[in-house]
Chain A
Amino acid sequence: MNLFRSGEPRPEGGETITVTALCDLAHAWWGDRLAPDWRPHTREQNQAILDRLGLTGNFWRLS
């Protein structure tokens, strides 16, 4: 899970998204991590985050 400059060679395979999308994903995924009332995300909650951000398709399926 690495950052690259646009056009820079990347490993074959996998998926690439913009850094803006990554930032949105990070806030949705980790934003509650230090909340006093934190509870573990269910797989369904995490999948919903990916889906909401348009990260769909088999690659982004958690199971």
Chain B
Amino acid sequence: MDDKDLELRNLTYRRFVALGRAPEPEELGPRDEVLAGWRRLHEAHALVLDGDAIRMANPFSAVATPYRVLAGERWWYGNCAWDAFGICAALDVDGRIEYRDVAVEVRDRRPDDESLVFHCLVPAAQWWDDIVYT
């Protein structure tokens, strides 16, 4: 990843957090240049595209998922349970994670319900084979 792509990646993340949603290419610069950069970042696993749109800027999801996260006075979607906690981590704030009928608060980097467990089905070496499924 060269410096230009790194700058685009960081700009994309900053705008995602500022807007509370994935930015459109035109919001970051010339559409063709931004899309070309996003495609390189997608190949580098620095974000995930669905066509010309951002699908994931991990840990943030650009689309609705079962993992809702209240963090930084805004609701977000996480791509999975790991990412849901990752949103609190990335924003460096406390938060609340909701999934189905489960709700867990994160305070000072600790979950308030330690009876819950996290199940990971796909082995680590295969996570990026199909990151949306993972």
24 A-B pairs (CB sep. < 8 Å): A1-B83, A2-B119, A3-B81, A3-B97, A3-B119, A4-B119, A5-B102, A6-B116, A13-B121, A16-B118, A17-B120, A18-B116, A20-B111, A21-B118, A23-B85, A24-B109, A30-B89, A31-B92, A34-B13, A34-B91, A38-B13, A59-B120, A60-B123, A62-B125
In the complex, per-residue mask of A1-43: 1 if CB is within 8 Å of any chain B CB, else 0: 1111110001101111111111111110111011010111000
Number of A-B contacts (CB under 8 A): 140
Identify whether the interface residues of A are mostly helix, strand, loop, or mixed: mixed
Min CB distance A46 to B, Å, is 9
Pairwise interchain contact B89-A27, C-beta atoms closer than 8 A: yes
In the complex, per-residue mask of B123-134: 1 if CB is within 8 Å of any chain A CB, else 0: 111010000001
Q: Which residues of A contact B119 (CB under 8 A)?
A: 1-4, 10-11, 14-16
Q: How large is the interface on B (under 10, 10 to 19, 20 to 34, 35 or more residues)?
A: 35 or more
Interface residues of chain B, those whose CB is within 8 Å of chain A, are: 1, 6, 9-10, 13-14, 17, 44, 46, 58-59, 80-83, 85-92, 97, 99, 102, 104, 106, 109-111, 113-125, 127, 134
CA–CA, A56 and B106, complex, Å? 25
CA–CA, A18 and B102, complex, Å? 15
Q: Which residues of B contact A19 (CB under 8 A)?
A: 104, 111, 113-118
